Amino acid sequence: MIKNLTSIALMILVSVSAFSQDNTNNNKFKQLYQELPTPNAYRTASGAPGPWYYQQQADYKMNIELDDAKQLIKGEETITYTNNSKDPLTYLWLQLDQNVRAQDSETKLISTQTLGKRSSFSHLNRMMTDFDGGFKIEKVTDASGKDLSHTINKTMMRVDLPNTLKPGGKVTFKVKWWYNINNRMEIGGRSGYEYFEEEDNYLYTIAQFFPRMCVYNETEGWQNKQFLGRGEFTLPFGNYEVSLTVPEDHQVAATGELQNASSVLTSEQRDLLNKAKTSDKPVMIVTPDEALEAEKEKKTGTKTWTFKATNVRDFGFASSRKFIWDAIGVKLNDKTVMCMSMYPKEGNPLWEQYSTEVIAHTIRTYSKYTFDYPYPVAWSIHANSIGMEYPMICFNGGRPEKDGTYSEGTKYGMIGVITHEVGHNFFPMIVNSDERQWTWMDEGLNTFVQYLTQSEWSAHYPHRRGPAAKIVPYMKGDKSRISPIMTNSESVWQFGNNAYGKPATALNILRETIMGRELFDYAFKEYCVRWKFKHPTPADFFRTMEDASGVDLDWFWRGWFYTTDHCDISLEEVNWFQINSMNPKEEKKISKEQNESKRKFIGQIRNDTTINFLIDQKPELKDFYDGDYKYTVTEMDEKAYEKKMDKLDEKEKELLGSGMNFYQVKFNNNGGLVMPIILEFTFTDNSKKLVRIPAEIWRQGTEEVWKVFYFEKEVKGIEIDPFLETADVDTDNNYWPRVVRPTRFQMYKSGGYNRGQNPMQKAGMGKKTE
Ligand SMILES: [Zn+2]
């Protein structure tokens, strides 16, 4: 119930508009002129590539040899670099990412460490490793084989050009190298091998294995942020032709289309691949039995697999004799995308049931929200305990127990990681942002579309990120351990929440609450289409989202991307008003009732029943003021009423008699983030009404606002954010009147609870192993 009903004289109604009392902090709606680069002919104010927009191109021809006996990669590459800028270039920069594992790597020096009373072997292994995994650059030459002067600067290499590379010109040069492949399971890494000791086999998931061109553009010049391990990659587009020489019984998956199927696959396998194109279920290309056979037999010769990829920013591959292979075709308009998985038996039964179906679902759903997936294949490769993405191929964890059971966490972790890593084809492999600078531009956008994709998997999908309420624990955390989203990758606190969870949530809030699905989806698609196969910056994203939707979002970017403010809107105060009808008969009756229902002081209550008051003993002491004069309607009252009514026109009289209820509500913004106020009123007849107030209600101040709502019905309760849209960190202050809910706590006796088993094992579903 509402407590304080007040009658108002009608004149109060002139001030129903919202007002604020604090005007000192109203720059939350200031445009982002200082924060964003000035628009120019390369990148326009609308967020699109401008008339002078250009990007460099790097084409690669590579011969790569995987040495399974020594676990090393040997390679030779011919890079053709096209200078599309208007700048003459006298040197080129390449990335030598494997040098992060060189013995003199600075990554080890700058990583901070502590030891507790307990420390795991793997923790110490990673800290104490003296593994030498750096690139051994053997030769850098021009196209004719003449040495080129080059300088290695940690994870980068400068190649000095004998002749200036003019605008529009091309230069071709060669690099020869080798390096030791890291044991991923022991010392970690996005790339590396897993060793299966009991059968003496290796499973390789290989990337960053070749010297790669850095990006040169008008925003940074040559990329000059070293690879320290976290901030990922910044890469130009180009065409790749790669020959991979591996043990002859290995199955190989890679970026691009296989060029020599007839020399590496059996005719039966090629037929099956053809069949898979139009099948509605994944088709086995290499069966579990065939993989098991290869694992045991261990052939000793080699085979060379050749792949070609057009317009990609990188190249990755996987190779093992342990691989089972299945495939299905997904039709997107006039194209068919081959969605394929490779996994060892250790991935089953999860992988044969889900991997390829998840790729297909991801490709379809992402295409709907962005653009049709433009590449011919999409791979998911089983690589225990990681998730890592490359064009057309990604390495994903999700491994069941040895008895074939798995927890719900393992299942959805696997579906989630495959959706996420396949989704990375769109961000950043095609919408090619600078990962070294901005993790959120690929991880955040990708996690957002991942959420949309998982939402179409099942109604009960256990989302980890996306819904606003999921980010609340992070948003209300210690502000000295939180950074704004607009922070360089290496300096971000709480990487997952900052660069994945918060931006994904912010986009979801834009879509569901601030812009609405229609405006948001149009603008988001516009951004994706504008920047596919190009290099967008944060400003290009912010500007396009506003430009294509007609919604000023500077306040939203400012709050969500440039600050660590959180949303905590509280319902501070509610005052109930009704219009004074001016009719003395009605008003005096109401006054009397109100007076009688008022709370009384305990002294008065006791006195009323125990004291024989003097004026009752001596009635001659009573006068006019001891009577009921306040609530008695006099003739003068009636006349005054008639006179007042004569001055009112019909509309005014109607309002006076409407019985309308007014609620003056005070909202406080305790978190600093400006957000819409979403209110649900419940009336005494239990009907409800939703009111959505845009964030601009805070435009003149940010600490408190008042607003008056009016209804014919009486309000029983008010709730802020009833559909959990705003990531409000304290929902206790969202109710009027305040609501208390019970927490149920469990009693227990020590012991007896069977921990450590997943629900499938408890249900007796594990297969017996000998
Ligand atoms: Zn990711």
> 87-145: per-residue pLDDT in tens?
999 999 999 999 999 988 888 788 888 887 888 877 777 777 789 999 999 999 999 99
**pLDDT tens column, 415-430:** 999 999 999 999 999 9
**pLDDT tens column, 189-215:** 999 999 999 999 999 999 999 999 999
First to last CA, the chain: 68
Ligand 1 centre distance from Cα of residue 352 (Å)? 23
Pair 127, 188: CB distance under 8 Å:
no
**pLDDT in the model for residue 7:** 56
Ligand 1 centre distance from Cα of residue 99 (Å)? 22
Ligand 1 centre distance from Cα of residue 389 (Å)? 7
Phi, psi at residue 760, to the nearest 5°? -70, -40
Q: Which amino acid is at 258?
A: L
Pair 376, 308: CB distance under 8 Å:
no
Ligand 1 centre distance from Cα of residue 441 (Å)? 10
Q: Nearest CA to 196 among 208, 204, 188, 206?
A: 204
Ligand 1 centre distance from Cα of residue 302 (Å)? 34
Ligand 1 centre distance from Cα of residue 420 (Å)? 6
Ligand 1 centre distance from Cα of residue 314 (Å)? 16
Ligand 1 centre distance from Cα of residue 499 (Å)? 9
Phi, psi at residue 413, to the nearest 5°? -60, -40
Ligand 1 centre distance from Cα of residue 449 (Å)? 12
Q: How far apart are CA 461 and CA 419, in angstroms?
A: 13
Ligand 1 centre distance from Cα of residue 419 (Å)? 10
Higher pLDDT: 187 or 376? It is 376
Q: What is the CB neighbour count within 10 angstroms for residue 106?
A: 16
Ligand 1 centre distance from Cα of residue 568 (Å)? 29
Ligand 1 centre distance from Cα of residue 376 (Å)? 21
Q: Best-predicted range by mean pLDDT among 6-10, 24-28, 221-225, 416-420?
A: 416-420
Q: Nearest CA to 484 among 539, 549, 566, 413?
A: 566
Ligand 1 centre distance from Cα of residue 442 (Å)? 7
487: which DSSP letter?
Answer: S
* Residue 151, CB-side half-sphere exposure with 13 Å CA sphere: 6
Q: How far apart are CA 150 and CA 694, in angstroms?
A: 58
Ligand 1 centre distance from Cα of residue 525 (Å)? 20
CA distances from 481 to 228, 475, 730 (A): 21, 11, 19
pTM of the model: 0.92
Q: DSSP labels for 117-186?
A: S---HHHHHHHH-------EEEEEEETTS-B--EEEETTEEEEEEEEEE-TT-EEEEEEEEEEEPPBHHH
- pLDDT > 70 fraction of the chain, expressed in percent and rounded: 96
Ligand 1 centre distance from Cα of residue 549 (Å)? 27
Arithmetic mean of pLDDT, 55-84: 98
**pLDDT in the model for residue 127:** 78
**pLDDT tens column, 156-177:** 999 999 999 999 999 999 999 9
Q: Is the pLDDT of residue 57 over 70?
A: yes
Ligand 1 centre distance from Cα of residue 338 (Å)? 22
Ligand 1 centre distance from Cα of residue 355 (Å)? 17
Ligand 1 centre distance from Cα of residue 232 (Å)? 10
Ligand 1 centre distance from Cα of residue 388 (Å)? 7
Q: Is the pLDDT of residue 186 over 60?
A: yes
Q: Which amino acid is at 76?
A: E
Ligand 1 centre distance from Cα of residue 445 (Å)? 10
Higher pLDDT: 222 or 753? It is 222
Ligand 1 centre distance from Cα of residue 418 (Å)? 10
User: Which residues 6+ apart lie within 8 Å of 303 measured at CB?
Assistant: 245, 246, 247, 248, 250, 263, 264
Ligand 1 centre distance from Cα of residue 387 (Å)? 7
Ligand 1 centre distance from Cα of residue 428 (Å)? 9
**pLDDT in the model for residue 103:** 86
Ligand 1 centre distance from Cα of residue 424 (Å)? 6
Ligand 1 centre distance from Cα of residue 3 (Å)? 52
Ligand 1 centre distance from Cα of residue 446 (Å)? 7
- pLDDT > 90 fraction of the chain, expressed in percent and rounded: 86
**pLDDT in the model for residue 3:** 46
**pLDDT tens column, 254-290:** 999 999 999 999 999 999 999 999 999 999 999 999 9
Pair 396, 382: CB distance under 8 Å:
yes
Ligand 1 centre distance from Cα of residue 443 (Å)? 5
**pLDDT tens column, 340-359:** 999 999 999 999 999 999 99
Q: Model confidence at 6, in pLDDT bands (50, 70, 90)?
A: low
Three-class SS state of 628: coil
Arithmetic mean of pLDDT, 475-488: 94
Q: Is the pLDDT of residue 694 over 60?
A: yes
Pair 536, 44: CB distance under 8 Å:
no
Q: Is the pLDDT of residue 463 over 80?
A: yes
Q: Is the pLDDT of residue 28 over 50?
A: yes
Q: Model confidence at 599, in pLDDT bands (50, 70, 90)?
A: very high
Q: Is the pLDDT of residue 436 over 50?
A: yes
Pair 180, 69: CB distance under 8 Å:
no
Q: Is the pLDDT of residue 719 over 70?
A: yes
Ligand 1 centre distance from Cα of residue 431 (Å)? 14
**pLDDT in the model for residue 11:** 44
Q: How far apart are CA 267 and CA 409, in angstroms?
A: 40
Ligand 1 centre distance from Cα of residue 432 (Å)? 13
Ligand 1 centre distance from Cα of residue 689 (Å)? 41
Ligand 1 centre distance from Cα of residue 497 (Å)? 12
**pLDDT in the model for residue 105:** 85
Q: Is the pLDDT of residue 19 over 50?
A: no
Ligand 1 centre distance from Cα of residue 414 (Å)? 14
Q: Which of 95-104, 541-550, 636-645, 757-766 has the lowest mean pLDDT?
A: 757-766
**pLDDT in the model for residue 408:** 96
Q: Model confidence at 753, in pLDDT bands (50, 70, 90)?
A: low
Name the residue with tokens 């971000």: 492
Ligand 1 centre distance from Cα of residue 362 (Å)? 14
Ligand 1 centre distance from Cα of residue 182 (Å)? 21
Ligand 1 centre distance from Cα of residue 520 (Å)? 22
Phi, psi at residue 289, to the nearest 5°? -65, -45
CA distances from 539 to 34, 36, 444, 499 (A): 12, 6, 15, 17
Ligand 1 centre distance from Cα of residue 96 (Å)? 21
**pLDDT tens column, 313-341:** 999 999 999 999 999 999 999 999 999 99
The token pair at 693 is 């107030």
Ligand 1 centre distance from Cα of residue 89 (Å)? 33
Ligand 1 centre distance from Cα of residue 466 (Å)? 14
Q: Is the pLDDT of residue 455 over 60?
A: yes
Q: How far apart are CA 408 and CA 760, in angstroms?
A: 9
Ligand 1 centre distance from Cα of residue 117 (Å)? 33
Arithmetic mean of pLDDT, 656-685: 96
Ligand 1 centre distance from Cα of residue 609 (Å)? 77
Ligand 1 centre distance from Cα of residue 28 (Å)? 31
